Amino acid sequence: MPFYTIDVELSPGEKKDFEFEFEGNVIKELKMLIPSGHQCRCGIASLYGSEWIAPKKDNTYIKGDGQTLTVPVDFVFPDKRQNKLRIKAYSNATKYNHTFYIYLTTGYAEEMPNYSLINKAANFLIKLVSKFGIRGT
């Protein structure tokens, strides 16, 4: 189960948009440390391409001051081995640099307890639809 720490340092008025490559195809845990001093003047978000993961709502950012947030993530990436998490961040501060810290734990879908059952069910449905087709009402 790979574990990563991503430091996102921002100068006053700076915006960042970059990709972080990781091993695995599932985010098991995503934590964000927002150190004291941010005073909600800085925001951060994680995406897969253009799909917003945390927060879920498009064009919104996680903000705070002196908090560590555990962000619920239910996202399986399409690639089996290597994937990229897109990070967007901004600072509206006028005087000081600010840093966000992201703690990312990743893994593989096949390690998840119900993966085998879900995979078998999906394959069964694919065969069923292939054999009989889909009929609308």
Give pLDDT, residue 49: 86
Residue 101 has pLDDT above 80, yes or no: yes
Instruction: Average the pLDDT over 105-129 and give the result.
Output: 70
Residue 129 included in any domain: no
Q: For position 72, which CATH number holds?
A: 2.60.120
**Which range marks the domain in which residue 76 is found?**
3-110
Residue 123 included in any domain: no
pTM score:
0.76
**What string of DSSP letters covers 18-48?**
EEEEEESSEEEEEEEEE-TT-TT-EEEEEEE
Give pLDDT, residue 122: 65
Residue 133 has pLDDT above 70, yes or no: no
Residue 121 included in any domain: no
Residue 100 included in any domain: yes
Residue 118 included in any domain: no
Q: How far apart are CA 40 and CA 43, in angstroms?
A: 7
Higher pLDDT residue, 114 or 95? 95
Q: How many domains does the chain have?
A: 1
Residue 7 included in any domain: yes
Residue 120 included in any domain: no
Residue 82 included in any domain: yes
Instruction: Average the pLDDT over 77-102 and give the result.
Output: 89
Question: Under DSSP, is residue 62 helix (H, G, I), strand (E, B) or coil?
Answer: strand
Residue 115 has pLDDT above 60, yes or no: no
The identity of residue 110, as a single letter, is E
Encode pLDDT of 27-77 as tens digits: 888 999 999 999 999 999 999 888 888 888 899 999 999 999 998 786 788
Give pLDDT, residue 31: 94
